[in-house]
Structure 1
Amino acid sequence: MSTVQARARPEQERRRSVPVLRHAVAAGGLIQRLEPPLGRPTSLVEPRFSGVGLTLGGVFAAASLLPSLLPRPSVVQGVISGVSLAVGYGTGTAAAATCRYLGVPEPRGRLREGLVGASVAVCVGLLFLAAWKQVGWQNDIRRLYGMPPIGPQGWPVVAAVTVLVAVALLLLGRVVGAAFRTVRRALGRLLPRRLATLLGGAVVVVVCWALFTGVLVNGFFAGANALFAPSDQVVSADSTPPTARVRSGGPGSLVSYDDLGAEGRSFVSGGPSVEDIDAVTGGGARLPVRVYVGLRSADTVQERADLVLAELKRTGAFERKVLVLATTTGTGYLDSNGTDPLEYLWNGDTAIAGVQYSYLPSWISLLADQDTVQATSQAVFTTVHRYWSTLPESSRPKLYLYGLSLGAYGVESILGSINLLNEPIDGALLVGPPFVSPVHDQLTAERDPGSPASLPVYGQGRTVRFASEQEGAARTPGPWGPTRVVYLQHASDPVVFFDSDLAFAPPQWLSDGQRGPDVSPRMGWFPMVTMVQVLLDLPGAGSVPMGYGHLYSAPANERAWVAITQPPGWDSAGLTRLARVLAGRPHPYGTSSVTIAP
């Protein structure tokens, strides 16, 4: 055997013993060949990529397959993975460019090959592991929600959507990069190179932000208004005005039935009848008062608030035992799961009033109508409360506030603007408060030590208490003052728990001992990716079984109203019977999956 052959054999044996590493090094070499030559920018459609960007993008894409708050359809998973891949690619590319800009030495020769090969091996390994586990992770959440399991047949859709989204975002990034280089070259004729680079980047960021907020966002809102406003005005052939005088749009009403909007017409025509309530309570029920003013009922916010007060007076609402000022969601929607239980609990001796302030669905209105919902909520409350305060305390109704989702945000604006000592109310129910709610965020941040972020205890529960589908307000022991405020929230609700801080810091509600029972134990935190996951959970928050996500069941609302209003004459058997009746009713967004204990 020659000396050359003797030296070659160990090398051949080493290569045969580590085939994964050999393939990884080969893949790393391919990535290096795909990279553009140093110093030459990549054209928009050139098939050349950053090796660091591809590697980090693969790691981000693998992390995106981990579970988040809600189960995901294949298309949504593909969008999440595509965005995550693009974010990882952009982060890696930017990091590599920054190192070159700062003159950080790059590894060469075999060291570079080894580092690239190891990185590729880790990236590919993570991708295969996550892809293999993903179906099981999703089925864990689906079992938790009582949903049927899924199989791997959705993977072609996931892969295709991932590639399409990532390529689209890559092209967009290259367009922005080309704009930056153009501005930098123009400034470079007048300024030093580094200063031109800094100012060029600032100019491109400002222009992109201005285009996004001033053109795209405003255009989107204008288009959405044009799209949804006509549907709000359509009155279906089977829609008939109420025949009772205690309903807006009925006989003697000061507002036209046609002007109430689609959700307003549904509200005044719905709810339990006297016979429905009697069947549960045993008799003596009254038909509940329902007052509603549509966006087209008056021209200004104050005029609509004045109409609400006039309608409340006309319908005899101030002669009932309970009066609720309800802040609607974007389209004017009032959830029957939140309003109907109260009417049963008080044997129909109630009045509920709502005002429409937008044509947009809540997920759009949350971004477009924050000022409008605050102005409407405060105007209605101030107008009605001023009159209510003049009535004899012994005979006036108890006054409560109610809001779901963006409506809860509106209720917060009232609670944050009044002094409960000088402007007393009896309580409030805020359901699924959105992530833009400042009072909710403050209460959570300042919660009592030892209480979880997913369901806090604040101030020993003297005024505000938190409840969920699984646990009612009674979970907080101790005295409760004359004004009772309840936040009803699910730990699995992305509308409540989304936060841009998720991009760079793990949330407290994922910490040990603070995770809610409806959040997958396998959900973890990964920089930037978790924020993308929870952000894209938002559109699907209402597409899960009742009692999870952003769908709050009637029995959970019932328990909250019992704790807040303390209706007389109910025992545990009666409340359980009512919960069964409420859980069995049809609901526009699904039926309850919550089991009612006997």
Structure 2
Amino acid sequence: MWLSARAPRPRQESKIILIKHDQTPTLAGPARFLSGLGLCLAALFLMASLTPSLAPRPPVLQGVASGIIAAIGYEIGLAIGGLWRLLELPQPRGPRLIRLRFGALALTVPVLLVAFRESTAWRNATRQVAGLAPLDQGNTLTIAAVALSVACLLWALFRLFWALTRRIETPLRRVVPYRIAQATSLILGLAIFYLAIEGTAIRYAFRAADSTMEAADRFIDPDLPRPETPQKTGSPASLISWDQLGDTGRSYIATAPSAEEIAALKGAPALAPIRVYVGRTAARSAQARAELALRELIRVGGFDRSVLVVVSPTGTGWMDPDAFDTLDFLMGGDVATVAVQYSYLSSSLALAAHPELGVEQAQALFDVVHDYWSGLPRDKRPHLYAFGLSLGAYNSQMTLPLLDMLGDPIQGALWVGSPFLSPMWRYVQDQRWPDSPPWHPRFGNGSLVRTMTQFDGPAPQATPWGPIRLIFLQYASDPIPLFSLGTALRRPDWLRYDRPADVSPQIKWVPVVSMLQTALDMLIALQVERFGHYYVAEDYLPAWRDLLDPQGWTAETTDRLLTALKARRAARD
């Protein structure tokens, strides 16, 4: 065998090359510097927040809203940048990065200038449809200052959050792959922040608000004298003492129209309407309060009237005087209403703090009243209806067992300003006729469900009412029934139709921002009569009339009734 004549190759030293992973920034990486993309999105979001909305906003509140929305826009920009780095896509560095940041700043400044220059005109577009006087340019500085302050505060809070995630991530990267460390630190950071805020700040705020509202509810207004008539709840003969009614209950009972007032307006003999109300302190449990309400209703003769309405009040237990004064006058006093308080908080806070309480109380009250009512002779019992306004409409819809009572149904329900979570309202909207808008949907043949707005009554129906009448009253400018999380990513249905008179034609859909706009509008929807969430007697009247079909009301007496109801509202205000 021949051997190779070539000289042997020199042995090469093996080298182990340690590739140190680049310290890829986490989502919090840009926290030490201002993000160019974040600044651009913050400016664009702020501009969008100043465009026309459903509810008119005072300057300070507009500044708060704009600051919150701008801060969210900035964080979305950071999240997009963080995702870009997480996918290890090419990143600008050095001078190119500096140029991009200066370019972003150069774009941000003119966007903000245009936004604040046009803000007054945009906000006046909302005020115009609400019937409010226009604003001048002088409040622009207030909006800008408040928005900047709120945005900076939230920016600092977000930086604190990302600093926490980095502190968690650092030791994790020693034992797990860096992407797993990133995801784990993000989840743990969110959990810690949630527990810290929800477990301390929010709960403390809810307890403080609940205690404050409870103290206010216990205050007895000396201008509301305790009734002496035995048929009145809160009288010496009542099963519920005057102090157990709470402030809202005492006002509801004391301000009921008298038989003489109703007779004078109607021009015919009338009865004193029966109003039964049980405050939250009257019994310890929802079931006990409901049974107490039933006993009181029996005591005062509520089942002897021609109409009985089971009411689910708002979060604070408030009973809208416009709704029930209208009902009492329209029925000539031949009506009884019963309600039970379940919270001291406003509807939004009550829904966030303890959403189960309202449903539990509404269920207990309806069940005990319906069980007693269904055991009475059909020809001697009143027509039974349900009523709910705002959160009360949600609670009422959650507890009305339509399918379980088809053999012996109630006569109907009136639900006003139904929140977007309300199951029946959502079903009616989803199954409406395609040519009808979501704020005034047409459902089926109109024999079961009809809807109304302040401008449009129930659409003419070829089919008459069936045995059950369900009426939804909603204003098109009310953000509470219209809100949807889906608005963040897609144009809402209510913007696909011609705008009604109370919605600005200049409202445009902007991803994410429109959802935030509507959410903020829900908090300020009670500013203007017949607009937003402020329902009034002029619109309760046709709703009650279509639901109850009372006799003897001519156009002349109806006009007199509206005049009297407006005078009562003016006296309250």
Provide the TM-score with structure 1 as the length reference.
0.87
Corresponding residue for 1:435? Answer: 420
1:399 maps to which of 369, 378, 384: 384
Corresponding residue for 1:578? Answer: 561
Q: Which amino acid aligns with 1:77?
A: Q
Q: Which amino acid aligns with 1:555?
A: E
Taking the aligned partners of 1:292 and 1:381, their CA distance within structure 2 comes to 14
Corresponding residue for 1:556? Answer: 539
Q: Which amino acid aligns with 2:432?
A: R
1:275 maps to which of 239, 260, 269: 260
Taking the aligned partners of 1:194 and 1:312, their CA distance within structure 2 comes to 65
Corresponding residue for 1:312? Answer: 297
Q: Which amino acid aligns with 1:279?
A: A
- More deviation in 227-236 or 176-185? 227-236
**Conserved? CA contact 1:247–1:315, under 8 Å:** yes
Taking the aligned partners of 1:138 and 1:427, their CA distance within structure 2 comes to 40
Taking the aligned partners of 1:213 and 1:477, their CA distance within structure 2 comes to 52
Corresponding residue for 1:177? Answer: 162
Q: What SS does structure 1 have at the residue aligned with 2:281?
A: coil
Q: What SS does structure 2 have at the residue aligned with 1:461?
A: coil
**Conserved? CA contact 1:490–1:548, under 8 Å:** yes
Question: 1:12-51 maps to which residues of 2 (within 5 A)?
Answer: 48-51=33-36
**Conserved? CA contact 1:44–1:175, under 8 Å:** no
After superposition, what is the alpha-carbon deviation per residue over 1:43-87, rounded to whole angstroms, capped at 9, x for unaligned?
A: 9996x4111111111111111111110111111111111111111
Taking the aligned partners of 2:538 and 2:149, their CA distance within structure 1 comes to 43
Q: Residues 477 and 84 from structure 1, CA distance in 2 versus in 1: closer, same or farther, beyond 3 angstroms? A: farther
After superposition, what is the alpha-carbon deviation per residue over 1:415-464, rounded to whole angstroms, capped at 9, x for unaligned?
A: 24652413410111111112221221122112122111121111222211
- More deviation in 98-107 or 75-84? 98-107
Corresponding residue for 2:347? Answer: 362
Q: Which amino acid aligns with 1:586?
A: R
Taking the aligned partners of 1:116 and 1:214, their CA distance within structure 2 comes to 39
Q: Residues 318 and 38 from structure 1, CA distance in 2 versus in 1: closer, same or farther, beyond 3 angstroms? A: closer
**Conserved? CA contact 2:263–2:270, under 8 Å:** yes
- More deviation in 358-367 or 256-265? 358-367
- Gaps spanning 5+ residues in structure 2: where? 1-22
Q: What SS does structure 2 have at the residue aligned with 1:291?
A: strand
> Displacement, 1:276?
1.7
Q: What SS does structure 1 have at the residue aligned with 2:268?
A: coil
1:70 maps to which of 43, 55, 71: 55
Taking the aligned partners of 2:336 and 2:507, their CA distance within structure 1 comes to 43
Taking the aligned partners of 1:248 and 1:44, their CA distance within structure 2 comes to 64
After superposition, what is the alpha-carbon deviation per residue over 1:317-364, rounded to whole angstroms, capped at 9, x for unaligned?
A: 111111111111112111011111111111111111111111112221
Taking the aligned partners of 1:65 and 1:94, their CA distance within structure 2 comes to 24
- More deviation in 139-148 or 486-495? 139-148
How many residue pairs match? The answer is: 551
Taking the aligned partners of 1:49 and 1:197, their CA distance within structure 2 comes to 21
1:141 maps to which of 110, 115, 126: 126
2:511 maps to which of 517, 523, 527: 527
Question: 1:289-438 maps to which residues of 2 (within 5 A)?
Answer: 289-416=274-401, 419-438=404-423
1:517 and 2:501 equivalent? Answer: yes
Taking the aligned partners of 1:41 and 1:555, their CA distance within structure 2 comes to 54
Q: What SS does structure 2 have at the residue aligned with 1:354?
A: strand
Taking the aligned partners of 2:473 and 2:322, their CA distance within structure 1 comes to 12
> Displacement, 1:571?
2.5
Question: 1:458-477 maps to which residues of 2 (within 5 A)?
Answer: 458-477=443-462
> Displacement, 1:115?
6.2
Q: Which amino acid aligns with 2:271?
A: R
Q: What SS does structure 1 have at the residue aligned with 2:569?
A: coil
> Displacement, 1:391?
1.5
Corresponding residue for 1:15? Answer: none
Question: 1:62-101 maps to which residues of 2 (within 5 A)?
Answer: 62-101=47-86
Taking the aligned partners of 2:571 and 2:89, their CA distance within structure 1 comes to 59
Taking the aligned partners of 1:40 and 1:393, their CA distance within structure 2 comes to 70
1:496 maps to which of 454, 478, 481: 481
Taking the aligned partners of 1:50 and 1:44, their CA distance within structure 2 comes to 6
Question: 1:437-452 maps to which residues of 2 (within 5 A)?
Answer: 437-452=422-437
Taking the aligned partners of 2:99 and 2:163, their CA distance within structure 1 comes to 32
> Displacement, 1:221?
1.9
Q: Residues 95 and 169 from structure 1, CA distance in 2 versus in 1: closer, same or farther, beyond 3 angstroms? A: same
1:539 maps to which of 520, 523, 532: 523
Q: Residues 386 and 82 from structure 1, CA distance in 2 versus in 1: closer, same or farther, beyond 3 angstroms? A: same
Corresponding residue for 1:130? Answer: 115
> Displacement, 1:114?
7.6
Q: Residues 561 and 42 from structure 1, CA distance in 2 versus in 1: closer, same or farther, beyond 3 angstroms? A: closer
**Conserved? CA contact 1:337–1:553, under 8 Å:** yes
**Conserved? CA contact 1:246–1:288, under 8 Å:** no
> Displacement, 1:100?
2.3
Q: Which amino acid aligns with 2:508?
A: G
Taking the aligned partners of 1:286 and 1:213, their CA distance within structure 2 comes to 51
Q: Which amino acid aligns with 1:384?
A: V
Taking the aligned partners of 1:381 and 1:42, their CA distance within structure 2 comes to 52
**Conserved? CA contact 2:526–2:533, under 8 Å:** yes
The percentage of aligned residue pairs carrying the same residue is 38
Taking the aligned partners of 2:365 and 2:478, their CA distance within structure 1 comes to 29
Taking the aligned partners of 2:507 and 2:106, their CA distance within structure 1 comes to 25
Q: Residues 534 and 146 from structure 1, CA distance in 2 versus in 1: closer, same or farther, beyond 3 angstroms? A: same
Taking the aligned partners of 2:26 and 2:474, their CA distance within structure 1 comes to 53
Q: Which amino acid aligns with 2:511?
A: P
> Displacement, 1:280?
1.8
**Conserved? CA contact 2:39–2:104, under 8 Å:** no
**Conserved? CA contact 1:263–1:333, under 8 Å:** yes
RMSD: 2.4
Taking the aligned partners of 1:259 and 1:136, their CA distance within structure 2 comes to 50
Corresponding residue for 1:257? Answer: 242
Taking the aligned partners of 2:462 and 2:54, their CA distance within structure 1 comes to 29
**Conserved? CA contact 1:64–1:529, under 8 Å:** yes
**Conserved? CA contact 1:324–1:353, under 8 Å:** yes
Q: What SS does structure 2 have at the residue aligned with 1:371?
A: helix
Q: Residues 413 and 190 from structure 1, CA distance in 2 versus in 1: closer, same or farther, beyond 3 angstroms? A: same
Q: What SS does structure 2 have at the residue aligned with 1:473?
A: coil
Taking the aligned partners of 1:589 and 1:287, their CA distance within structure 2 comes to 20
Q: What SS does structure 1 have at the residue aligned with 2:280?
A: coil
Q: Residues 507 and 39 from structure 1, CA distance in 2 versus in 1: closer, same or farther, beyond 3 angstroms? A: closer
> Displacement, 1:311?
1.0
After superposition, what is the alpha-carbon deviation per residue over 1:481-527, rounded to whole angstroms, capped at 9, x for unaligned?
A: 121111111111122222222222221111133x4331111111112
2:491 maps to which of 488, 503, 506: 506
Taking the aligned partners of 2:139 and 2:460, their CA distance within structure 1 comes to 42
Taking the aligned partners of 2:491 and 2:265, their CA distance within structure 1 comes to 47
Taking the aligned partners of 2:163 and 2:461, their CA distance within structure 1 comes to 58
**Conserved? CA contact 2:452–2:472, under 8 Å:** yes
**Conserved? CA contact 1:242–1:249, under 8 Å:** yes
